[in-house]
């Protein structure tokens, strides 16, 4: 079955941007972003229809 894959950051955006402001914190911000991001896979029966409805804003939950 085809899958829709998306990435989502589960960490704190505020902490991420505070780390980005400082020069020393940039490498830590990158590590924080990489460690706080997860891959989410959804199995769908018709991925082309899903993408069409998602782009048009007509996507409804079942």
Q: How many CA atoms lie within 13 A of 1 on its CB side?
A: 8
* Tens of each residue's pLDDT in the chain, 62 residues: 788 888 999 999 999 999 999 989 999 999 999 999 999 998 888 878 888 888 887 766 55
C-alpha distances in Å from residue 6, one per residue of 25, 56, 61: 27, 18, 17
pTM of the entire predicted model:
0.67
Task: Find tokens 């990158």 and name the residue.
Answer: 30
pLDDT at 47: 78
């Amino acid at each position: 079955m085809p899958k829709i894959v998306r990435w989502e950051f589960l960490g704190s955006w505020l902490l991420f941007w505070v780390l980005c402001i400082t020069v020393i914190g940039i490498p830590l911000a990158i590590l924080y972003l990489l460690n706080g991001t997860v891959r989410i896979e959804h199995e769908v029966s018709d991925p082309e229809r899903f993408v069409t409805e998602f782009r048009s804003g007509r996507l409804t939950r079942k």
